[in-house]
Structure 1
Amino acid sequence: MSTPNINFTPEQITALFIDAAREGDTDLLTQFLDAGMTPDAADSRGYTALIVATYNGHIEAARLLLDRGANPEATDLKGATALSGVAFKGLQDIAALLIEKGANVDHANHAGRTPLMFAIMFGREDMARQLLASGANPDLEDADGTTSRDLAQRQLLTGLFAESKEA
């Protein structure tokens, strides 16, 4: 009895790689990377393994991918980076790792929204403070002309900028 010859398309292989990141399966991610998979391979939505691993809270998978060359500034099709996703979810430990590895705290997506804006919009006050402490600019405007300060006022998080005369 012969073993069937199974051929996967590049898209299927990338999907399996992204799924391993979604599950935080560092052993499988390592096998893919050792076999030559590029750490920044993206699916049809532009999601890289790093974006998916971080969004799902898998810090060890994120650390592995970053150590193996994943770009912390890679974007999905909407222009969002891994830091945008963790800011929205409030995953501070992963945000610290991404920033340590070179993520730009002020990277704006295609709508001009920064990680700080996402943290504020979703009420992640501790994350917002962390981003501000890491140098995030609260005065950048999105495509609608709205700043993080404006968003904080709307969310009643004005204490974020208590040291500022403008808040």
Structure 2
Amino acid sequence: MRLSDEQQRNLRIIVMDLARAGSTGELAEFLDHGVAVDEQDELGNSLLMLASYHGHVETVEMLLCRGADPNRLNSRNQAPIAGALFKGEREIVARLKEAGADLDLGTPTARQAAEAFQQVL
């Protein structure tokens, strides 16, 4: 069964809110039922970007284990690792690096963000 445009929009809002809130189990259920692990909102923020920015380590780990792209940029050319650096989320930064986050991708790059916010990469 194909979802209508409105249903797809509502589903996207729900899963983005779950990522933002760190509702790992509920989000995993949606992924189990076919939501794309790299789903993006209207601003291009992926589930991983939102979970990273809001400091939800468990959700970030679950998304990465399911194949989320640590280098997916949003519409402002920002990468999840730069958002995590901005928020001082060291554990998430480390996990994104382990998952292959490109430290020279996006604007600002992770290296630039680390320098600007006096964080260690």
TM-score normalised by structure 2 residue count: 0.90
Match of 2:11 in 1: 13
- Quote how far apart the aligned CAs of 1:114 are: 1.0
Instruction: Report which structure shows greater RCO (CA 8 Å, sep ≥6).
Output: 2
Tell me the distance in 2 between the aligned counterparts of 1:60 and 1:40: 17
Superposed CA offset, 1:30-52 (max 9, x none): 11011011011101000111000
User: Kindly, what percent of the aligned residue pairs are identical?
Assistant: 33
Match of 1:98 in 2: 96
Task: Report SS of the residue matched to 1:22.
Answer: helix
Tell me the distance in 1 between the aligned counterparts of 2:62 and 2:24: 7
Amino acid at match of 2:115: I
Contact 2:48 2:63 in 1 (8 A): yes
Which structure's residues are more often helix, by fraction? 2
Tell me the distance in 1 between the aligned counterparts of 2:24 and 2:94: 20
Tell me the distance in 2 between the aligned counterparts of 1:89 and 1:26: 20
**2:109 alignment partner, one of 114, 135, 138:** 114
Mark the structure with the bigger radius of gyration. 1
Superposed CA offset, 1:91-144 (max 9, x none): 1110000000110111132xxx212222332xx32x2x3x2xxxxxxxxxxxxx
Contact 2:18 2:26 in 1 (8 A): yes
Q: Structure 1 regions of 5+ residues with no counterpart?
A: 1-6, 132-167
Tell me the distance in 2 between the aligned counterparts of 1:108 and 1:55: 15
Q: Structure 2 regions of 5+ residues with no counterpart?
A: none
Aligned-residue Cα RMSD (Å) equals 1.3
Tell me the distance in 2 between the aligned counterparts of 1:24 and 1:57: 8
TM-score normalised by structure 1 residue count: 0.67
Superposed CA offset, 1:41-98 (max 9, x none): 1010001110000100000000001111110011110111100101111211100000
Tell me the distance in 2 between the aligned counterparts of 1:71 and 1:108: 14
